[in-house]
Amino acid sequence: MATYKTDVILAIFDARWDNSSGTLSAPIVTLSDVSQGIRNYNLTTGSSHSDRNPANFFKDFVRKNKSANENWPNSVFSRGYTERQITGSGACFEFVPLISGQTIPFPSIPAPSASTPRHQIESASLPLASRRLGRSDEPWLIQVLVRLRVIETHLALFSVREILQVDHLQMSVKLAKSEIDALFLATEKDDSGTGNEILICCEAKGRGDDILADQIVRQVQALFDASGMDQNMIIPIAVKAVGPSQVHVIEFEAVSREDSKSVTLLKPVSQAVYELVPVVPGIGI
């Protein structure tokens, strides 16, 4: 479905584009820029779109990959640009050059296929009281994953790495330029026998939202920049509710601190769909 945001984004891009040199100035778009762009659009078209919540402008735009690809301005894409959402310092999003070989503005993480492994996990250990408050939002999904040790189960059964131990550190980790739904610390077997520490950042999405690859990349980069994080390796994991009481877990190739600044693509290395038994209210509805 067409959206006015396409025209707002195009107008902002055009104002920064030098046609003679084919270059873009000031790729970062602030919340103030978005609000002004909406007001300009309203003045031009006689519309009355609200400019009071620019923080959600792009968050809602990229929530679904299908609609984001359909509504991204064609002329912006033809000039070699897509975007990535950024936060902090009043920023909203950033125009970024396309990666070599990129054919659509917002590549998607593949959905599970018939060959994706399936595994049942008991949910009888969840307190009945918490079940009464079951919701379809991401905080509830993360809480269930942590309580049922879904991430630990996946790393034990399907990971390409030999993980000895996993500890859940925190939920909803707010960083300067990103937010991580859940953070874990893994101990991986190494030659010394003492174990090597690896951070695990987990991004969770409900059934109605898509996993955004660039969002996970930003989480990795922001985590390496955070104070007190001296580990040199991060395993990104994404979890998406894909059906009633079913979650799709994807482990991506680990990213080293050395490579984190230049990484643009994440390679899935293991995945599985977990069915929570008995059914957990709110998950995948």
Q: Over the stretch 162-216, which tens digit does the pLDDT of each residue have?
A: 999 999 999 999 887 788 999 999 999 887 767 899 999 999 999 988 888 888 9
**C-alpha distances in Å from residue 47, one per residue of 40, 44, 132, 265:** 10, 8, 43, 38
Q: Can you tell me which residue has the tokens 């008991």?
A: 122
Rounded to 5 degrees, φ, ψ at 88 are 90, 150
Closest by CA position to 55, among listed 13, 95, 92, 29: 92
Question: What distance in Å separates the CA atoms of residue 231 and residue 237, rounded to the nearest whole number?
Answer: 17
| Token pair belonging to 105 | 């503005």
| Mean pLDDT to the nearest integer, 125-134 | 87
Three-class secondary structure of residue 161 per DSSP: coil
Residues 6+ apart with CB under 8 A from 220: 201, 234, 236, 255, 260, 263
Helix axes 4-16, 31-45, angle to 10 degrees: 110
So what's the pLDDT on residue 59? 87
Q: Which residue, chain included where needed, has tokens 């003679």? A: 20
Has residue 1 got a pLDDT over 60? Answer: no
% of the chain residues with pLDDT over 70: 99
Is the pLDDT score of 85 beyond 90?
Answer: no
pLDDT at residue number 195: 82
The answer to whether the CB of 219 falls within 8 A of the CB of 203 is yes
Residue 269 — very low, low, confident or very high, per pLDDT cuts 50/70/90? very high
Cα angle: 110, vertex 187, 245; to 5 degrees: 40
Average pLDDT, the chain: 92
Q: What's the token pair of residue 173?
A: 């980790």
Give the tokens for residue 228. 């007190």
HSE-CB of 273 using CA atoms within 13 angstroms: 17
Q: Per the structure block, which two tokens stand in for 55?
A: 């923080």
- In this prediction, residue 265 carries a pLDDT of 80
Per-residue pLDDT averaged across 92-99, rounded? Answer: 92
Using H for helix, E for strand and C for coil, what is the string for 98-151?
CCCCCCCCCCECCCCCCCCCEEEEECCCCCHHHHCCCCCCHHHHHHHHHHCCHH
For residue range 19-71, list pLDDT tens digits in order.
999 999 999 999 999 999 999 999 999 999 999 999 999 889 998 889 999 99
Summarised one tens digit per residue, pLDDT across range 139-161 is 999 999 999 999 999 999 999 89
Q: Which residue has the tokens 């230049």?
A: 262
Whether 242 has a pLDDT exceeding 70, the answer reads: yes
- pLDDT for res 234: 97
Q: Is the pLDDT of residue 120 over 80?
A: yes
d(CA 194, CA 252): 24
3-state secondary structure at position 17: strand
Q: Exposed e or buried b for every residue in 74-98, given b needs 16+ CB within 10 A?
A: eebbebebbbbbbbeeebbbbbbee
The CA distances from residue 51 to 13, 32, 57, 209, 210, in Å, are: 18, 9, 9, 23, 25
Question: What are 47's strand-pairing partners?
Answer: none
